[in-house]
Amino acid sequence: MHLRSAAFSAARPPLPMLRAGSNLPDGGHCSVPTVSSSSSSSFSTDLPPFLPRIRPLSCRPTRFFLTPRLANQKSSLGLTTVVKAAEDVAAAAAGGTENHGEAAVSSYGSSSTSGMVKKLQLGFLFGLWYLFNIYFNIYDKQVLKVYPFPITITTFHFAIGTVLIWLMWVTNLYKRPKISSKQLAAIVPLAIVHTLANLFTNMSLGKVAVSFTHTIKALEPFFTVVLSAMFLGELPTLWVLISLVPIVGGVAMASLTEASFNWAGFWSAMASNLTNQSRNVLSKKIMDKDEETMDNITLFSIITVMSFFLLAPVSLLVEGIKFTPSYMRFAGLNLKEVYVRSFLAGVCFHAYQQASYMILAEVSPITHSVGNCVKRVVVIISSVLFFRTPVSPLNSIGTGVALIGVFLYSRVKRTKSKSA
């Protein structure tokens, strides 16, 4: 029997043999990791404070080595060897499970960090949206008070936006889109109502206080409900109708007590509401049917460029060329102040709308609507403080009631969206 086994071993070529090995003097055995709430170890600082602290292993996991088998080495595939190998494999599997647990904790930490970074980026975008909107209203109002040509000013804003978009495409900061004729035909109505919405807003800002313009623009949910029912067949729920009551009532109260009230400013703001919400309804009605959809930023960029080319000839026909230095001097205006503030208003105009579309790409439309409501509150308060607008108690109450109604409307729409 021994001779046969030796002959068999001698006949085989040298093969590597798998054997367990460890650098520990006790043969590779180690203690089980324990869970502790202490934060004394350096490892615990990598984890969030609400997770249990895991003490590191007191040994390294079992490793396997490939060693050459000598030709005269005796084979020993007995039952004891098989059992020992099975135990080693089981121990290695247990170590793999523990390492997998550590990897899961590490993955949790990285996902938590990335989620926090995303929230910070979104908060930064909201801050830019609000900040640029505040400065746009301030600079725009200052220019329109001394230069009452809203069509020319709106065209100038679109011109600055067109230049910025062109630079963005040329420098590859954002990919230049390829637009089909079908998409262009669908975008033209959106560009028209977008142009009118911004034109009517500037007309209102030139006639009444900034705070009053934005109070009237709080009626946007009312126009959304009416237009959606007329063109999309979306009938409002009872709670939506109830939320509209404080909006309409608050705007009416603020209008009756507004010191700067005039009908031109009022109807311009109302027309801005109508065209703004018409743009949203048309976007939903037309663009959803287009198989080649585009992202919000690309759509906004194309609409801005088209708005400039649509409004520029109208501005020349209606108001003429009244943005030249000679006309400014003839009108007795400070050339530098008008040009600089018009430029800053145009940059802020494009920047806040760009930030708005970037936010809309990251959050739901309902969340964006709530953010827009908060933005309106911030703009009203900042404009009242900056321009020292006289506000009566009833006017303040009316504005507050209208904004609360807008917030309730947003909450109702969010609840409806979740239930659907």
pLDDT at 72 over 50: no
CB 286 within 8 A of CB 186: yes
Answer with the residue of higher pLDDT: 271 or 97.
Answer: 271
Answer with the residue of higher pLDDT: 413 or 100.
Answer: 413
pLDDT band at 122 (very low <50, low <70, confident <90, very high): confident
Distance CA 370, CA 365 (A): 9
pLDDT at 46 over 70: no
pTM of the model: 0.69
When pLDDT is averaged across residues 288-317 and rounded to a whole number, the result is: 83
Distance CA 64, CA 48 (A): 35
What is the reported pLDDT for 83? 43
* CA 229 to chain CA mean position, Å: 28
When pLDDT is averaged across residues 247-267 and rounded to a whole number, the result is: 89
Looking at the chain, the whole-number percentage of residues with pLDDT higher than 90 is 32
CB 282 within 8 A of CB 189: yes
When pLDDT is averaged across residues 99-119 and rounded to a whole number, the result is: 63
- The dihedral built from the CA positions of residue 281, 282, 284 and 289, taken in this order, carries a sign that is positive
Name the average pLDDT for the chain. 76
Residues in CB range of 98: below 8 A, 6 or more apart? 33, 57, 61
Q: Which of 55-64, 252-261, 373-382 is least confident?
A: 55-64
What is the reported pLDDT for 2? 45
Answer with the residue of higher pLDDT: 61 or 363.
Answer: 363
